[in-house]
Amino acid sequence: MDKNPGLRVRSRHLFLIGISLLLIVFSSAWAQDEEVIVIGHAEIAESYDPAHAFNPTTGMVHRVTYETLVTFPSADASSIVPLLAESWSISEDGLVYTFSLNQDAAFANGDAVEAEDVVFSFDRLRNVQAQPSFLTDPIVSVEAVDQSTVAVTLDSARPSFLAELTNSAFSISNAEVVRANGGTDSADAAEADAAMDYLNQTSAGSGPYILDGWAPQEQTILVRNADYWGDQPFFDRIVIVNIPEAATQRVALVSGEIDLATDLTPDQVVNLANSDEVDIYLGSSTWTHFLLMNRDPEVGGPMADPLVARAVRYALDYQGYLDLWAGSVTPGTNMWIGLAGAHGQEQSLERDLDRARELLAEAGYPDGFEVTLEYPDLTFAGVNLSTNAQKIQADLAEIGLTVNLLPGEVQVALEGYRNGTQGFAYWFWGPDKLDPIDFLEFLPGGKVAGERARWTENMVSSEILDLIAAARTETDPTARTEIFNQLQDYAQEDSAFAPFNVPAIQTAFRTDVEGYVWHPQWGVDLSLLSRSR
Amino acid sequence: MPFYKYILRRFLFAIPLVLGITVIAFLIANAVPADPINANLPQNALGNERLVNAFREKWGLDEPLHIQYLVYLGNLVRGDMGESIKTRNPVASDLRQFLPATIELASFSIVVGLVMGIGFGVISAVWRRSFHDYAVRVFALIGVSFPVFLLALIGLSLFHAQLGWFSGPGRLGFLTPKPPHITGLYTIDSLLTGRWSTFRDALSHLILPSLVLGSYVAGIITRITRSSLLDVLGTDYVRTARSKGQIEPLVVMRHALSNALIPVVTMLGVLYGNLLAGAVLIEAIFAWPGIGRYAFRASTSQDFPAIMGVSMLIAFIYVVANFVVDFLYFFLDPRIRYT
Amino acid sequence: MADASRFWGRLRKNPEVLLGLVVVLAWIVVVIFAPLLAPYDPLQQNVSDRLQPPNDVYLLGTDELGRDILSRVLYGARITIPAGLVVIVVNTVIGWLIGAIAGFAGGAWDEAMMRTTELFMAFPTIILAMAITAALGPDIRNAVIALVIVRWTDYARLTRGLIIQAKTTEYVEAARSLGAGNIYLLFRTLLPNSVAPVLVYGSLDIGNAILLFAGLSFLGLGPEPSSPEWGRMISVGVSFFDQWWMWLSPGLAVASFVMAFNFIGDGLRDMLDPRSAT
């Protein structure tokens, strides 16, 4: 191109026209001999090792690369259905769960899924002491009764246990393969296990797809498991491209570069609604957006005062967030609104600025104070956290709080959040367990309350502690609902959190993509997707 | 001055410059953060005495400052620029990974900038005070006055999102396979291996960011070309050529331009350095996986070792680029040979 | 008076200088009277009016939280322009002092200063500034500090050149021969002589300082997200490039300001250029 001396001196227009002509010629589609689907997605993944990973992206990927003992139906969490375990029984006292593995089940490399693999996967999950390891806390032991029978013993009766087992952290990996690549389930696995790098690039599971490479923050590639023991999925290859910006996802979807966009904003969806090329799925998400107010005075400062936390809950303009995020819902508490017995929008708090100001004055801050709000700087599932943070800032300004915003890169911010060093923070939460028990994470004794908000058991009355204990073990549905109702009422009064919005999810896909089903646990099941001719 | 002597002298000038760059980088790394350990280790390592001590040991933090510098220099010579807090990789290997993308973008942009800049400069000088001249000067002003990130957004929203003329963010389409790694420049690698569709895709992704980045360079080069060409056109030498009856454009091209381009060439080294730095903003917007985006991510995640690595790398490139420019200069400017 | 009228005459021949001055003056008026000019509070959110394109109520449209863009751009001038000014003033003072000392003392001092400035020039300004703000933590003050650290060298070099030039003038030689001391010379003759050119250079450099400041802020290393700072406002464009009104107005605000200074600089150069007489 540079060889042509005319181009050098003539106007830019010639150059532009030339280039655009070239592009028109070039833009013809390339031949495809395999079925490929490209997913545009804002990646949040720390690892693809199921014992380490515990993020929105990994949930979606693990759904198709690994399998759990039991699972939910494809569209909801209404019942527990078999997967690797074809049947199970629960002992009289509710402590021992015995699973019979499906004899047909096989890993991608052809090895049969055996009891030994289950023991290895559960023990490794516990012993690597990573983010999801806490899920194994109720488990006392996992034993292989015979080649296809596993017995799991719990420390106490736990009605939610099967629902918890559907979590992708309980994925069953091929013990032999993981061991051969540095993995171990021994007690010192936290130091000794070295399989994460291997599992970040490929999967050792029994699902319909195999992980075929991950370039963090760039793309994840899945290839079809040709020997899958269940029904074969449609696509030969799934490319999950990291596109953090919703605006870019939209352009890529409309131009056909991607087939499915997971993180559009409500505003974009309104504009896309008339398009012939794009279909839209709208539904309520599982993500509860909330504020955290650290109860440790050294970390939280004035925010550690329960009165201040209450004032914050009354100061938030809940209606405003509903206007901001079309299709969203105001949650009553940190218990996800989709769970049985959760306080929904009818029981949610309403803004009451006078009450908020009174509470602040009662706490000794009639003139307010200055505080820093930390949050991860990202757009997640179409919700720009920075937009909400600015609204929070404006809401709290009305009761005299001067909020300084401190957005952080997501990994950095996560570190502070998990270490409990954030005094006042904005985060979102999707249930680890699709069971009311998930809410206990937000009460003293729970992970989020204890580790992240430093709200511990010695800070609450014994009645509340008794209620929390009962919530864990109560099996009678009516009594259980009653307990959770009381706990939610308590949380609205005294919690260290201020939940304010559960946004809608809006997924858009090319009209030729079929089989899209959204699930509260894993998001979209990629193996159900197909393309019409 | 003979060629080898000239080059040797230039080379000897470069050595203290390179050493000096390491001193500045070292001083900034030590003086700016309140606590170098805090700035260089991930938060979860701070509580770990073993890791903290290993870090102290490695960088000689208990030694006096001048020894610390020598330790730092020693590590640097071995290619050790510390470890990135965010990626947990050695900074040097991260830079190796991300540099080719930036080199490709910057080289493309400088070509675009040169072609547009010299072309416009010539037009503007030859038809001085004409409509063309004013149009070109306005363009040059926009090039140097508009923030590159604004041009990038206008380009993206207009030519990519609205008109769909050019590819948007990224180096390749989502489905295009990467060419095998030879130079790391996708256009060149795909050409070398005969992958035409990859080449086209890489090229179409390069156009928009390099037009944006190039227009900044073009703005500067237009101005230099214009003013130096006006200088040359005013000299006796050109007047003589004119009086001999040679037609105007030929005079310009043959006699004037070669002389007028000397200042452009001398600026190239500086411009290339500026381009690499300007690439930070462009790469952040165009999701271009180069050292600019690496630096951007590093700065937002307080990844101090990574960002100092990028600074130093670009400073080195700047020195090398200027060395190359000196080299070119020797051939372009006859005066050097006689001094 | 004769000088002034001649200057005016030349100014009329160079309308771009005039235009540049008018634009700069207009922005200064905005900086001072922003609260009177802005139709709304720049931080006032009206969620129900969000993302409106320019219309009769919101002349330049609204942003993602329903804040008035016009008011934000006007108030933004009060952040970006003073920040650029502070950078320039501190740059000028520091650069001028260092350059003056080097030029006056000469010898090893001079050599050391010159080499140091060369080194600083090798570093990419914006990345070095990013490194410094990353280490200090992002906010307006630290962004200004970072820019001061990376941008003083031009001023030092300029001042040094002027001082060395002034040292050789007859006036200084005469003063020296009359027994004037070093300190006296430095303060009474050399420094004042170098002030005017450095000030001129500095005032023309404001545009560049503002571009850099807006760049840092665009990257999230300046003021916090809700601030109506121009670079910050433009950065939402990455998420909302369809809603062009949100980022185009602050973008053009920066561009107009920088362009005005370039107009003035170009015009002045042209006016001083002997060729322009022909």
The confidence score (pLDDT) of residue B185 equals 92
Query: Which tops the pLDDT comparison, A330 or A477?
Result: A330
Please enumerate in sequence order all residues whose Cβ is within 8 A of that of C203, keeping only pairs 6 or more positions apart, or say none.
C88, C261
- Is B257:B230 a contact under the CB 8 Å cutoff? no
**Nearest residue on chain A to B118, judged by CA atoms?**
A9
Q: How far apart are CA C214 and CA C235, in angstroms?
A: 10
On whether any CB of chain C is under 8 Å from the CB of A236, the answer is no
- What phi and psi, each to the nearest 5 degrees, are found at residue C114? -60, -45
pLDDT band, residue A378 (cuts 50/70/90)? confident
Token duo for residue B300: 């937002």
Residue type, A270: V
Whether residue C134 lies within 8 A of chain A, CB to CB, comes out as: no
pLDDT at A9: 38
Please name the residues in contact with A211: beta carbons below 8 A apart, sequence gap of 6 or more.
A48, A61, A65, A199, A201, A202, A203, A220, A221, A222
Provide CB contacts within 8 A for B168, sequence distance 6+: A248, A251, A252, B156, B160, B161, B205, B208, B286
Question: pTM (2 decimals)?
Answer: 0.85
When pLDDT is averaged across residues A425-449 and rounded to a whole number, the result is 93
Q: What is the pLDDT of residues A149-163, one digit of tens each?
A: 999 999 998 989 999
Nearest to A118 by CA among A206, A202, A200: A206
Taking only the tens place, the pLDDT of each residue in B264-316 is 888 888 888 888 878 888 998 888 989 999 998 888 877 888 888 898 898 88
Q: How confident is the model at residue A3 (pLDDT cuts 50, 70, 90)?
A: very low
Least confident of A98-102, A528-532, C168-172: C168-172
**Longest distance between any two alpha carbons in chain A, whole Å:** 89
pLDDT at A202 over 90: yes
CA distance A326 to A323: 6
- Chain B adjacent subunits, 3+ CB pairs under 8 A: A, C
Report residue A387 CA to chain centroid gap: 20
Instruction: State the Cα angle at A441 between A438 and A444, rounded to 5°.
Output: 140
Give the pLDDT band (50/70/90) at residue B323: confident
CA distance C212 to C230: 12
Q: What is the mean pLDDT of residues A118-132?
A: 94
pLDDT tens-digit map of B203-230: 999 999 999 999 888 988 998 888 888 8
* Percent with pLDDT over 70 in chain A: 94
For B8-43, give the DSSP string. HHHHHHHHHHHHHHHHHHHHHHHHSSS-HHHHHS-H
Structure tokens, A382: 């179409």
The Cβ of residue C93 has, within 10 Å, a number of other Cβ atoms equal to 15
- Checking if the pLDDT of A393 tops 70, the result is yes
Of A132-136, B47-51, B151-155, the poorest mean pLDDT is in: B47-51
How many B×C Cβ pairs under 8 Å?
A: 146
DSSP A317: -
B95-114 average pLDDT score: 93
Backbone angles phi, psi at A508, to 5 degrees: -120, 140
State how far the alpha carbon of C149 is from the alpha carbons of A178, A213, B6, B48, C79, in Å.
52, 43, 34, 34, 20
- Give the whole-angstrom CA distance, residue A314 versus residue A350: 7
- Beta-strand pair A36-41/A260-261: parallel
In contact, A484 and A436? CB cutoff 8 Å: yes
Average pLDDT, chain A: 90
pLDDT band at A5 (very low <50, low <70, confident <90, very high): very low
Of C72, C15, C31, nearest to C206 (Cα)?
Answer: C31
| Cβ–Cβ < 8 Å for C235, C217 | yes
Give A459's pLDDT tier (boundaries 50, 70, 90): very high
Of the listed ranges A8-17, A125-134, B48-57, B261-270, the least confidently predicted one is A8-17
Count chain A–chain C contacts defined by CB atoms under 8 A. 48
Give tens-digit pLDDT for B33-46: 667 777 677 666 66
Given pLDDT bands bounded at 50, 70 and 90, which one contains residue A14?
low
Q: Name the residue among C224, C226, C240 with its Cβ closest to that of A247.
A: C240
Q: Answer whether C57 touches B (CB < 8 Å).
A: no
> Which residue in A16, A220, A262, A409 has the most chain B C-beta atoms within 10 A of its own C-beta, making it the best mutation to test that interface?
A409
Provide, as residue numbers in chain B, all residues whose Cβ is less than 8 Å from the Cβ of A239.
174-175
Which one-letter amino acid corresponds to residue C32? I
Point out the residues of chain C with pLDDT beneath 50.
1, 276-278
Query: What pLDDT does residue A462 have?
Result: 95
Tokens 């003139």 sit at which residue?
Answer: A367
Query: Could A9 and B169 be called an inter-chain contact, meaning their C-beta atoms sit closer than 8 Å?
Result: no
Q: Rounded to a whole number, what is the distance in Å from the CA of B117 to chain A's nearest CA?
A: 9
The CA distance from B334 to the nearest CA of chain A, in Å, is 25
Query: What is the per-residue pLDDT for C236?
Result: 87
